[in-house]
Amino acid sequence: MEKNNITKIIRMFLSARFPSETEEKVQKWILKDKDTEAKKKASLEYWNELETEAGPDTYAALERVNLRTGHNKEHLDNIVAYQKFSRVAAVLIPLFLLTGGLFYYFSPNNEMIEISAAYGEQKHLILPDSSEIWLNSGSIIRYPETFAKDKRLVTLNGEAYFSVKKETAKPFIVETSRLSVKVLGTKFNVKAYPNDENITATLTSGKVEVSVQSQSPQILKPNERLTYDKNTSSVHISTVNTADTDSWITGKLTFTNATAGEIFRTLERRYNITMDNMTNIPASKRYTVKFLKDENLDEILNILKDIIGFNYRQYENKIVLTQP
């Protein structure tokens, strides 16, 4: 296979660009002992761009992926093949956690379920307690098959809307990389993508307690949004129109006081595209704009180019931005 094609496939896989039905085939292709050096090089290039370091989770995750793909260590006939896979996996595994389809991994007492929505798709989940979750594109959520007796804990990387069944004695907790949201029964949205500058929690109904690292917990009331700035660690609570909080579930796109970068990253996740040359767009300006469900990508880009000020060319799933 040509080097450019290998690089393209690896990058699409690691950025969750494949639908769930294709993802497993790509995983198996990665594991094949063919074009190994090209695969490793493409993975390392992507890894270095993210400036992510391997840690203990890398190797724990390796075991989970081994189970998923059927290449667990005990059943490999050739230890050399495992070592080759391990060298590739040491680069890939932390990214599998962000992109990895549906994984099951086991603890001594309970089974953990990990589900992701690839770029270009969304998922609706029913949890063991009958609570509902709508998972947005490029997101991943983990939860146990059976919740603990004293709490219902889920972890989120990305964006999800929650409709939580009320259980007074067992609070529902959503953990992200920087903050957690604790509720008894309510409806709320959490947006915590790793490459976004902010993490937000928006309350539709009920009451939630939002805890941010090294800061006092904040109580949100309906129609309030907490925004955590990753760069400054500052917290801001504002009043918003929550009618638009879950609009993405129905296919609408609503941007309120958003930067061009935030808008473009949302389009990448929604339409499974890559936007190039985003650095040419002013980063400080903010925009408020709403798109209806039936508007396609071309219609959205044509509106945005007049509002933000850019031209663009499209090459399959790549959008190249140019100066007007």
Which CATH code fits 251-322? Answer: 3.55.50.30
* pLDDT, average across residues 208-222: 90
Alpha-carbon gap, residue 229 to 146, rounded angstroms: 33
- What is the rounded CA–CA span in Å between residue 65 and residue 90? 11
Q: Would the pLDDT of 104 be above 60?
A: no
Residues of the chain with CATH 3.55.50.30: 251-322
* Across 219-230, average pLDDT: 93
Which amino acid, 242?
A: T
List every span in the chain annotated with CATH 2.60.120.1440: 107-241
pLDDT digits (tens, 9 = 90+) for 7-16: 777 777 666 5
Whole-prediction pTM value?
Answer: 0.67
pLDDT tens-digit profile of 276-312?
876 667 777 889 888 887 788 999 999 999 998 888 9
Q: Give Cβ neighbours of residue 246 (< 8 Å, ≥ 6 apart).
A: 134, 161, 187, 189, 204
| CA dist., res. 290 & res. 310, Å (int) | 18
- Which residue's entry shows tokens 């962000």? 98
Query: What architecture is domain 107-241?
Result: Sandwich (2.60)
